[in-house]
Amino acid sequence: MSVLCRHRRRRAARPRESARSVMDQISAAGVAYNQDLTHKTILVGDSGVGKTSLLVQFDQGKFIPGSFSSTVGIGFTNKVLTVDELKVRLQIWDTAGQERFRSVTHAYYRDAQALLLLYDITSRSSFDNTRAWLTEIHEYAQDDVVIMLLGNKEYGVIFLETSAKTGLNVDEAFMTVAKELVRRSVQLPIEPRFHLHDLMEPEKESSGCCGFS
């Protein structure tokens, strides 16, 4: 079995519940989560990596294929997620990936509580550019911002690969960020770094491991 195929097989696996729920952790710590909080969450990454598509899939459960129309400026969608028994309010900002809008996007980083950095797994350059995106994030965002890199497992941040087309891991991505936001909001102790295998079920025999969606 090649490394490549093992990797692709993992992409198709579904997350499993973490051993201890956020609710359990909050109860054990004797703290309370304010469900009226709204967490500003921003999608960033190169133009064309699928930020708008991911948000549309998450919000409306659909993928609109066809001609690519670049986002101009910035806009947001409000979503309320249920994490265990808690309501977690996300205000999700979809930014324009094009270079000419970069200074506008930077202005929104400062009060962001979560940043989802996307790259396109079929675009080497969009992956290469994640390094520059992270540099900008560290320059403009708060130190304790939750960063999730979608499409890559490097840089020591939360990792999931997604497909806006099929919906693969779309819910899981936002649920993972929401859980982390709850944990940080109530200042639960820092957990050991997130590991990809913690989300995965044991590997099963699979076929068709190497197709892109």
Q: Which residues bind ligand GTP (CB under 6 A)?
A: 47-53, 65, 68, 70-71, 96-98, 163-165, 213
| CA neighbor of 146 nearest in space, from 191, 107, 196 | 191
Q: How far is the CB of 86 from ligand GTP (least distance, A)?
A: 29
Give the nearer residue to ligand GTP in terms of CB position, either 106 or 165.
165
Give the nearer residue to ligand GTP in terms of CB position, either 25 or 176.
176
Q: Which residue is nearest to ligand GTP (CB)?
A: 97
Q: How far is the CB of 69 from ligand GTP (least distance, A)?
A: 6
Q: Please, which residues bridge with residue 41 across strands?
A: 92, 114
Give the nearer residue to ligand GTP in terms of CB position, either 94 or 182.
94
Give the nearer residue to ligand GTP in terms of CB position, either 113 or 163.
163
Q: How far is the CB of 182 from ligand GTP (least distance, A)?
A: 27
Give the nearer residue to ligand GTP in terms of CB position, either 52 or 130.
52
Q: How far is the CB of 160 from ligand GTP (least distance, A)?
A: 13
Q: How far is the CB of 101 from ligand GTP (least distance, A)?
A: 8
